[in-house]
Amino acid sequence: MITDVAGVRVGHWTDPVARTGCTVVLLPAGTVASGEVRGGAPGTREWALLAPERLVARVDAVVLSGGSAFGLSACDGVVRWCEERGIGFPTAAGPVPIVVGAVLYDLGVGDARVRPDAAAGLAACEAAVAGPFEVGAVGAGTGATVGKWRGDPPQPGGLGTASERSGALVVSALVAVNAWGDLREPGASRPGIPQHTAGVPDQKHGARFGNTTIGVVATNARLDKTACLLVAQSGHDGLARALEPAHATFDGDALVAAATGEVDAPLEHVRLLAARAVETAIRST
């Protein structure tokens, strides 16, 4: 679990009837982060500040949410929760919480009128734990589905997590899997390409083509922002191992990589474990 990285906490808000929710990853003070989007249809908040050349290196929380663009409102509740506790980037007017968000499209599987909002984000923070937490059809994974590229009825996706270790080094992933492509097992046969996927999907299927896989890779390694970006890129390698097709025009695939800075470790070891952790997390859903 991603909470295997010391100081990381995870909380959910879930509406099982409307089939939507959000998941908050609260990070310890001083966590450095970067991230990368590879899908063609992302929905994000504060993503530009993750670039290595930007001023702020710290990230206080990451929000993964359903509700498409509406779900970015959940970040407001997380900002409020952090502000009330004095968490954030120091400024003359007080700490400014650095909360990064990414959303997936689940509006077609439940009640599209219900989306995670600021109250949902706040509730997820209040529910956050540093130990085992629920996975599957919960939080950001509540309405997630996979296997939509063939035009067949989509299959359940969900929220998955996994950890990889090498000595004192821990690299973990938490992923909400709502992919256009299929979950792929190692060595599985590769079916042919359906003809209807050659162009824009048939719009009559509507929400069948609402997608996006989003997640967080966390490690206890000591890394700067550039190294975190490389870790996020390796996380996308793991995504492409577990999903096919991956990073489609109709996906908004996005991963944040966060480093808490407790141990020294070779960057390439962190990157290798990040790819494995993301791959395993996706297949665990």
pLDDT digits (tens, 9 = 90+) for 194-210: 655 544 444 444 444 57
**What CATH number corresponds to the domain at position 170?**
3.60.70.12
Residues 214 and 104: beta-carbon distance below 8 Å: yes
Mean pLDDT of 28-43: 96
Tens digit of each residue's pLDDT (9 = 90 or more) over 189-198: 666 666 555 4
96: phi then psi, degrees, rounded to nearest 5: -110, 110
Which value, in Å, is the radius of gyration of the alpha carbons in the chain?
A: 18
Q: Which of 22-31, 82-91, 137-146, 186-195 has the lowest mean pLDDT?
A: 186-195
Give the integer Cα–Cα distance in Å for 178 and 135: 14
Q: Give, in degrees to the nearest 5, the angle at Cα 183 between 106 and 4.
A: 80
Q: What is the span of the domain harbouring residue 78?
A: 2-283
pLDDT at residue 152 in the model: 79
Q: What is the dihedral of CA 44, 50, 54, 59, to 10 degrees?
A: 110
Top pLDDT among 209 and 250 is at: 250
Percent of the chain with pLDDT over 70: 92
Residues 252 and 40: beta-carbon distance below 8 Å: yes
Q: Which residue is listed with tokens 């922002």?
A: 225
Average pLDDT of the residues of the chain: 93
Residues 260 and 31: beta-carbon distance below 8 Å: yes
- Give how many domains the chain has, as a whole number: 1
Residues 35 and 232: beta-carbon distance below 8 Å: yes
